[in-house]
Structure 1
Amino acid sequence: MSRAPLLVVASVVSIQFGSAVGRTLFDDLGATGVVLLRVAISALVLAVAVRPRLRAWPRPAWRAATMLGVAVAGLNLFSALAMRTVPLGVVVTISFLGPLTVALVQTRRLLDLTWALMAAAGVALLCWHPGPALPLGGLLLAALAGACGAGYIVLTARVGGLVPGAGGLPVSLTVAALVALPFGAGGASAIVERPALLIGASCVALLQTIFPYVLELNALRRIPTRVFGILVSLNPAAAAIAGLIVLDQHLGSVEIAALLLVTAASAGVTRNRPAEVQDRWSSRRLPRPPRDAADPSETQGRANQGCG
């Protein structure tokens, strides 16, 4: 039996537990400070590992990679800000709407309307019953992260068509770090007086970006993107579990119902995507293969999530 599905599940777990560990650093580094350090460390490590051939890049490739970096920064910054007041599982659930919308737009099947309504029902549950634990401001930030996640997917496809291999990833992460710099520099400066915090930030970078990249790169060589998308739809559930174990975040019945609805919709629209759409995306080698593809769960990312 192929171990590829286990690699994807391991990536999902790594990403969400990395997010939870990052949340524990908010008091010391600030939400945006954690994002800045994670993205900067990931960019440095992957630049050394990938070594993109920048001199051969055409101008459109630089433009697309820059725009992708802005989307990565937005996805991660909005997600982190949302996590200050909203449980991790809920943030990931809401932010899945962006990638899910991209997937739905690409298909024209009547069944997809069912998945869209299912996802909308899940979000409606959260918005109609925000309560003190789910402030609307935090939900809006998570929704903005989802919007950036949608742009992240579209732009990654663009970069993947212009840049061979994974060369676009470290460049986009570098741009994301520059965008996050004015927002996170103040919090990240705490590592000057407390260098040990850099160890925690490095662990977050490894768990949320670097390890998933390696795991998913190997998995996508062995399984179709459709199967990959279904497995990555486990992200909201994994986020809820990580939030419970690491952060002691207990979700109520309403939040759990919303999570299940959005997860089912993501898996459903991936499972039922027409073959021609699957083939179109599986033929591309994107900068960050898994979550940068068009499957509804392939983002959280990132980046995820986002990038992670």
Structure 2
Amino acid sequence: MTAPAPQARQDTLTLLAPLLLVLSVSMPPLGGGLAKEVSQGHDILALAFLRNALAAAIMMVIVRPSLTRLTRAQWGAAAALGAALAIMNANFYLALARLPLGVAVAIEFLGPLAVAMVGAKRLVDYLWPLLAFGGVLLLTPLSGADRLDPLGLLFAIITAGAWAAYILLSRHAGRQIPGMTGLALALLFATLFTAPVGLPVSGPYLSSPEMLAKVAAVSMLSTLLPYALEFVALRRVSTALFGIMMAMEPALSAVVGLYLLGEVLSMSAVGAIALICLAAVGSSLTRRPAP
């Protein structure tokens, strides 16, 4: 007796979940590399705004949230999440304009590692953030890395803080707002928050079908496709495996930066990225499940 079609589909998705996870982790580095390439000679904040706007439009069409039924608390949770998302995306793109892709992505991973430290009670829980901090020190002038833009490093650190806030606010929004409505509204608010700095200078990106196609590709690779694939994969793989795969993103970004953008990193930068990846893997392996 053959399995019902829905069950067969679920079994197929379970088998494909690791592949979906690989794809979801590989896409943001490609999106970041494409964003850096597309923004050459143009205002990068306009690209951050357009990325949010396109993702928000698609999510609102897919989710179709009932806006009149939302409470004031739900609107507040979505707005806070959108603000964190806007700050994270805008500062990441500002960092991208000044730093190699792999370095910018590595530094932003301090955000999730800081969140992992919240409530830590074991010595090993403090080891991984300290290891990551050591990696960041390798990127500063203290280690002779005087070629890295200090302002770019500051933007990357702000991105890390915004990512930490985004993780915490996502949990809060998830409790307040059902389904994917919270994410759709957060993207809408992120669009509104980045519009004042991005909309007035977005003309060059909207001037030709080729540029529009590249903007759409950035939005799909950086936001929509990774979120969708993670949404499917996370139901079928362990959080430890997901964390390990996510920890590879700085290294993947360095590879994308090398082959797509020609960014050759110093040995200290390669060592820093390796330390941050190791810290992220270790944090995922030793993290205790939430009660």
Q: Contact 1:88/1:239 (CA < 8 Å) preserved in 2?
A: yes
Which secondary structure does the structure 1 equivalent of 2:183 belong to?
helix
What is the Cα deviation at residue 129 of structure 1? Answer: 3.4
Work out which of the residue numbers 135, 139, 151 in structure 2 matches 1:126: 139
Task: Please say if 1:202 is aligned against 2:216.
Answer: yes
TM-score if structure 1 supplies the norm length? 0.86
**Structure 1 runs (4+) greater than 4 angstroms displaced:** none
Aligned sequence identity (%)? 36
> Match of 2:55, as an amino acid?
S
| 1:28-43 alignment, distance < 5 Å | 28-43=41-56
What residue is the counterpart of 1:259 in the other structure? 273
Larger radius of gyration: 2
Listed as ranges, the gaps of 5+ residues in structure 1 are 281-308
Task: Please say if 1:215 is aligned against 2:223.
Answer: no
What is the Cα deviation at residue 132 of structure 1? Answer: 4.7
Which secondary structure does the structure 1 equivalent of 2:40 belong to?
helix
Work out which of the residue numbers 241, 246, 257 in structure 2 matches 1:243: 257
In 2, Cα distance between equivalents of 1:160 and 1:25: 34
Which secondary structure does the structure 2 equivalent of 1:86 belong to?
coil
What is the Cα deviation at residue 260 of structure 1? Answer: 0.9
> Match of 2:245, as an amino acid?
L
Q: Once superposed, what is the RMSD of the aligned Cα atoms?
A: 1.5
What residue is the counterpart of 1:138 in the other structure? 152
Q: Contact 2:205/2:215 (CA < 8 Å) preserved in 1?
A: no
TM-score if structure 2 supplies the norm length? 0.91
Q: Contact 1:82/1:141 (CA < 8 Å) preserved in 2?
A: yes
What is the Cα deviation at residue 194 of structure 1? Answer: 2.9
What is the Cα deviation at residue 241 of structure 1? Answer: 1.1
Work out which of the residue numbers 19, 26, 48 in structure 2 matches 1:13: 26
> Match of 1:174, as an amino acid?
L
What residue is the counterpart of 2:183 in the other structure? 169
Greater helix percent: which structure? Answer: 2
In 1, Cα distance between equivalents of 2:173 and 2:206: 36
Work out which of the residue numbers 29, 48, 55 in structure 1 matches 2:68: 55
What residue is the counterpart of 1:230 in the other structure? 244
Q: Contact 1:5/1:231 (CA < 8 Å) preserved in 2?
A: no
> Match of 2:241, as an amino acid?
V
> Match of 1:247, as an amino acid?
L
In 2, Cα distance between equivalents of 1:123 and 1:237: 14
What residue is the counterpart of 1:293 in the other structure? none
What is the Cα deviation at residue 25 of structure 1? Answer: 1.4
In 1, Cα distance between equivalents of 2:25 and 2:213: 22
> Match of 1:113, as an amino acid?
Y
